[in-house]
Amino acid sequence: MTLAEQITSDFVNAVSNTDEFAQVATYKKYEDGSELQVSVIIEDVNLRDQYSEGRLVSDNANIFVYLEFKPSIYDSITIDTDTWVIDSFSGINNRYKLDVSKDRVSTRKHTQGRFR
């Protein structure tokens, strides 16, 4: 097994391990509205807030996922009751890091430096 194959195998094993790291989420494609269940690892926003200094936008996160297709901006991922929209992504060999933000309806209320 090559190093690239081993890295992919380790990533798939970590992402699919819902007993320790991963969570099951619903991935919804923006283009056609189709949905599928995927295993994801989401950055712990609370941990990041605890060890950060200064002002931090806590409605952004990183999600790590293995997909058989290329994600698209505006696709969404729902974990528990939170829906996250993909702002940007990077990946190789079907392993993706998704930069996401919470999908919130605009309330015109000013929070964390932005209008909602």
- Give the tens place of pLDDT for each residue, 37-70: 999 988 866 555 555 555 555 688 899 999 999 9
- Contacts of 9 by beta carbon, 8 Å cutoff, 6+ apart: 1
For 70, the token pair is: 């290329």
Higher pLDDT: 21 or 28? It is: 28
Q: Reduce the DSSP state of residue 3 to 3 states and report it.
A: helix
Give the pLDDT score at 106: 46
Domain boundaries, the chain: 3-105
Q: Domain 3-105 has what CATH class?
A: mainly beta
How far are the Cα atoms of 15, 57, 74 from residue 67, in angstroms, in the given order? Answer: 11, 27, 16
- Residue 115 pLDDT greater than 60, yes or no: no
Taking the whole predicted model, whether its pTM rises above 0.85 is answered as: no
How far are the Cα atoms of 2, 33, 38 from residue 62, in angstroms, in the given order? Answer: 27, 22, 15
